[in-house]
Amino acid sequence: MSTHYYPDYNSEGMLASHEIDNGLVSGGVWQPINVQSATQNFPIGTRLRIQDRTFYYCKAASVGTLVAMKAGHADCVEVDVNTAAAAYAAGVNEIIVLDTDTRAANYWQNGYVWVMNLVSGVYQHLKIKSSNAAEAADNQVTIQLYDPLPFAIPASTFVALHQNPWSNVAFGNSEYMAMICVPLIPVTANYYFWGQTWGPCFGTAQSAIPGAAAADREVYFGTDGALMAGVDVDALVVMRQRAGFILSNTTSGGDQFYMLQITP
């Protein structure tokens, strides 16, 4: 899997070439951070570093439009199922699990599987390289792993499958999903884009402008992805997800220029 992307600029600041950490992008074209694409150009979850900012390659959810400068939710699927009625030895790179719904091929690609071995008490958390299609609920699905099983697992072992967190970014108002990135532009449903996760960023204030109150430097995400000032969060019973901290000198009033701190 290609996880790091380093654009190469010439002396005039123009893009000269693009490479990922283990070679050239196969079949992909350069997609600027301010451009969405109906065609996938990079593996979902590819990390892009441009100077002091970090981006991850994402896919928008199938419903709605992502709003620019508001954080999008990680609407990633999690299912609790069992492996097929077969034991798997340490060192194998494939396991067969039951799924609870129909799935397209590679639906679980670059997601994770958590294996709970109730016999030995040894738990395993592994990254998924690819998966075949599930044609019906509880269909047997072959999961290919990047790394072999470090420990054997018995037949019918409980597992939890988690989708790639950048593969289904949704926008809306939710109290049960975490923020995964901030799109710099409006993003159409099912389109691919670079979502910012770290570095200087600008946001939309939910109510009070962050930094307006003395010593109020921390910022948090509201349930719709807008920014909340720390003084607003202090009054809540349940803590919101931290977004980062205000960068501006706010002696004369608040500001939404902040250091985004989701994923470096």
Q: What is the pLDDT of residues 186-236, one digit of tens each?
A: 999 999 999 999 999 999 998 789 999 999 999 999 999 999 998 888 778
| CA distance readout (Å), 7 to 27, 53, 126, 200, 263 | 16, 13, 29, 19, 19
**For residues 158 and 168, what is the distance between their CA atoms, to the nearest angstrom?**
25
What pLDDT score does 227 carry?
A: 95
Q: Which two tokens stand for residue 231?
A: 């003084």
What pLDDT score does 31 carry?
A: 87
What pLDDT score does 22 carry?
A: 46
What pLDDT score does 46 carry?
A: 86
Same domain, 122 and 232: no
Q: Which domain holds residue 14?
A: 4-72+168-199
Same domain, 212 and 104: no
Same domain, 239 and 130: no
Largest CA distance in the chain: 67
Q: What are residue 183's DSSP bridge partners?
A: 195
What pLDDT score does 239 carry?
A: 83
What pLDDT score does 55 carry?
A: 95
Same domain, 58 and 181: yes
Same domain, 101 and 115: yes
Same domain, 119 and 63: no
Task: Supply the pTM of this predicted model.
Answer: 0.88
Same domain, 183 and 212: no
**For residues 164 and 45, what is the distance between their CA atoms, to the nearest angstrom?**
8
**For residues 57 and 49, what is the distance between their CA atoms, to the nearest angstrom?**
11
What pLDDT score does 2 carry?
A: 40
Give SS3 for 210. Answer: coil
Same domain, 214 and 92: no
Same domain, 17 and 45: yes
What pLDDT score does 21 carry?
A: 47
What pLDDT score does 197 carry?
A: 98
What pLDDT score does 23 carry?
A: 45
Same domain, 180 and 60: yes
Give SS3 for 168. Answer: coil
Q: How many domains does the chain have?
A: 3
List of the chain residues with pLDDT < 50: 1-3, 21-27
Same domain, 192 and 220: no
